[in-house]
Amino acid sequence: MRKHQLHTAFISLFIILSMILTLFSGCGGTNNGNDQKDETSPAVPAAADEPRKVIIDTDTGADDASALILAAKSGVFDILGVTTLVGNVDLAQSSRNALAALELAGCEAPVYPGSSENYKGERIEAFSVFGADGMGDADLIHPKGSAQDKDAVDFILETVAKYPGEVEIIALGPATNIAKAIERDPETMKQVKMIWSMGSAGLGPGNASPVAEFNVYADPDAYKVMLDSGLSITVVGLDMCGGEAQWTDEDFVKLDSSGEIGRFVTASFGKIREFYAANGSAGAVSNCDSLAMMCVIFPEFVNRSIKCHGSCITTPGETYAQVIFYQEGFTYDVAANDYIYNVSLVNDADRLDYFDLYLQTITK
């Protein structure tokens, strides 16, 4: 049997177990007050454990929203909160988009607005290829709820302090909120279990420039603070979501016919599909944020990762916002070889099964 077929069989069983788990845990819930962990079984699949405590940090465009829905429907997370920032859209729109996506997925996780400026304190303008509202300009965004008054950075620090060593932060946008939290209270942030970042070009080309990926380009100073912090970080780069991982026109037909959530996601991708078509890439688009979320949810989705030291270029020029990865165990002839290798860079994922697994998860 081929490797990706074995992965599909494993993941199908994983989803069935997740459905059972969902009966006992709610999105954004408290897990019935049971905070005890089985430290003797770290390799047990997440579906068999208590829900993993996560904060999702997002500049909510269509790709982020699809990943939020995936996270909520997976049944493996206790989403403690969603923190928002400017990036694909401005801060207010980012928060509204997150609320709408969560409500559609039946998730009551609170939303905390964060940064409307970059790490240096400079006001930045949102840029989106997903339409003016970041969601395809398809009149999708009518949330019933409202964002919280508490600032995102305050929420992050209070939550990590409450659950030391347990909270994973899933960063789908620029690293501004995370960098500000590190700057304000580095000792508390050392208690973060893992930061998952959809950021950088990985070992491939960029999309904001030939060498830089959009999330990093939006605030490279923040990304540098995060990488230099020494915290445990798993990076899913742009190189993981091209080629066979792209969603085709046929995939969108299946998605659109799958139900309310599928129609929502399909409509939200309308503008970026037009953008791709106008630039000679008709027929398929990338959805990097949901692929990164797959790497967080399903252990077997990641085939290979490499330990690295990550260095982000913040000086102006052609390499601005490029992330350079120094691989552990590789001896460089001129560069130093005494780095802190705190980054796991996902280098191979089960991309052939990506769309089918996404569809299976959101419609279960």
Q: What is the pLDDT of residues 119-157, one digit of tens each?
A: 999 987 878 899 999 999 999 999 999 999 999 999 999
**Structure-token pair, residue 202:** 């990985």
Bridge partners (DSSP) of residue 311 are 324
3 state DSSP class of 240: helix
pTM: 0.88
Q: What CATH number has the domain spanning 3-26+44-330+337-362?
A: 3.90.245.10
CB pairs under 8 A, 24+ apart, for 325-334?
Answer: 325/200, 325/202, 325/203
User: Residue 125's pLDDT is what?
Assistant: 81
Our answer to whether residue 49 is catalytic in this structure is no
- Backbone angles phi and psi of 150, in degrees to 5: -65, 140
Those residues whose C-beta lies under 8 Å from the C-beta of residue 235, and which sit 6 or more positions away, are: 197, 199, 200, 202, 310, 323, 343, 344, 345, 346
List the domain boundaries for the chain. 3-26+44-330+337-362
Bridge partners (DSSP) of residue 168 are 54, 194
Length of the chain as a residue count: 364
Contact (CB, 8 A) for 231 and 269: no
Report CA-CA distances (Å) from 43 to 38, 48, 286, 302, 345: 10, 10, 31, 15, 20
3 state DSSP class of 16: helix
User: Residue 43's pLDDT is what?
Assistant: 31
H-helix segments, 208-327: 214-218, 220-228, 249-256, 260-268, 270-278, 288-297
For residue 66, which amino acid is it? S
Cβ burial of 19 (10 Å; 0-12, 13-18, 19+) is middle
| Catalytic, out of 38, 49, 59, 333 | 59
User: Residue 304's pLDDT is what?
Assistant: 97
Q: How far apart are CA 126 and CA 97, in angstroms?
A: 14
Contact (CB, 8 A) for 112 and 150: yes
**Are β-strands 302-312 and 168-171 bridged in parallel, bridged antiparallel, or unpaired?**
unpaired
Q: ∠ CA(132), CA(173), CA(192), 5° rounding?
A: 155
Q: How far apart are CA 291 and CA 283, in angstroms?
A: 19
| pLDDT digits (tens), the chain, 364 positions | 444 444 444 445 444 444 444 434 447 543 333 333 333 322 323 444 689 999 999 999 999 999 999 999 999 999 999 999 999 999 999 999 999 999 999 999 999 999 999 999 998 787 889 999 999 999 999 999 999 999 999 999 999 999 999 999 999 999 999 999 999 999 999 999 999 999 999 999 999 999 999 999 999 999 999 999 999 999 999 999 999 999 999 999 999 999 999 999 999 999 999 988 888 777 899 999 999 999 999 999 999 999 999 999 999 999 999 999 999 999 888 887 789 999 999 999 999 999 999 999 999 8
**Structure-token pair, residue 142:** 């009518």
For residue 57, which amino acid is it? D
